[in-house]
Structure 1
């Protein structure tokens, strides 16, 4: 991923938090040179001294078979808020742009054992269900429901390279930055509002 120096993120804790918040990502592999992509909830977990992206997909999805055949790097992409930024929002004439957050992770993939998959599902359900009444936690599921694990394939991707970008107008002066935030709020659409909120949080954090 091309990342101008103004927008490159290297703080691992920040990247880890970003993945935790924006964990519905895109897994890209290749089959005989042709890219294949699946959109999935995934997590970043530590095993021993290594970090892994973990997740699962339907057994009927043929993409998991590329893990065993191609034996090469795979790509996982996570995306955060994004929004169009008009050049009319700057004090001086310039060009429009697009603000966004993204993380790309490269690594090698392998298939989980059933025990590893069960543990990963346990963690996934804990993340999304723990605050809910009558939570659908793994330990609360019936044996019949748990048998559906046979219909999915768990995978883990050993993290080898991380590329992260935060392009949120941090190269603009303070006056332009504040104006961009205000104008994004005025757009009245979800993407623009989320970007405006992110830019506000970043501004408060940096003070």
Structure 2
């Protein structure tokens, strides 16, 4: 993933929190030289102190399952939120763009045995489900479903990040973007604006309040 240094995130706690909050990933591999992918929930787990892995499962009938024993590196893509940035929000420049957060995780995949798959499903349900528990599923139904899926674990060998949040803008333009995103009314824009506000101290009043023009800064 192309990511200029200013938009890279190096803090592991921030990266881990993002993966956990946006766990519906795109799993990518290749089959006969052709990229294949599956959209699926993926959980970040601390396997041993300081060692993290990704765990998930796919349908056994999914053609991508044929790549699981190939020994190739896999890519898991986590992305959300994102928002259009209008150039009308800048003081001078007229080129619009898009702000977004994305994390790419690369690693080797191994297939889980039934016990590890069951434990992974327990964790997945505990994360997302507040009512139904694994123990509520009839044993026969659970067994039949376990036979229909393949669990996997991906070791984390490399992480690429891009937190593209207008970091290359001067303060005036930066907070103009924040204020316009807040006014847009959609969840993605609110979340991008909130992330931007965490990363830079505001020096100018909100847009529309006669914000002063900065004397200098990158455009």
TM-score, scaled relative to structure 1:
0.90
The DSSP-based 3-state class of the residue aligned with 2:156 is strand
CA distance in 2, matches of 1:145, 1:168: 46
CA distance in 1, matches of 2:16, 2:191: 19
Q: Which residue, out of 139, 142, 145, partners 1:143? A: 139
Which digits, 9 at most, give the CA deviation of each residue in 1:78-104, with x for residues without a partner?
002111111111112242111000000
Q: Which residue, out of 184, 188, 208, partners 1:187? A: 184
Q: CA deviation at 1:203?
A: 4.2
CA distance in 2, matches of 1:146, 1:196: 43
Residue in 1 that maps onto 2:72 = 72
Which of the two has higher C-alpha Rg? 2
Gaps of 5+ in 1: none
Residue in 2 that maps onto 1:57 = 58
CA distance in 2, matches of 1:21, 1:46: 16
The DSSP-based 3-state class of the residue aligned with 2:72 is coil
Structure whose residues are more often helix by fraction: 1
1:163-174 maps to which residues of 2 (within 5 A)? 163-174=160-171
Q: What is the number of equivalent residue pairs in this alignment? A: 199
Q: CA deviation at 1:171?
A: 1.8
CA distance in 2, matches of 1:203, 1:119: 41
CA distance in 2, matches of 1:198, 1:153: 36
- Runs of at least 4 residues of structure 1 off by over 6 A? none
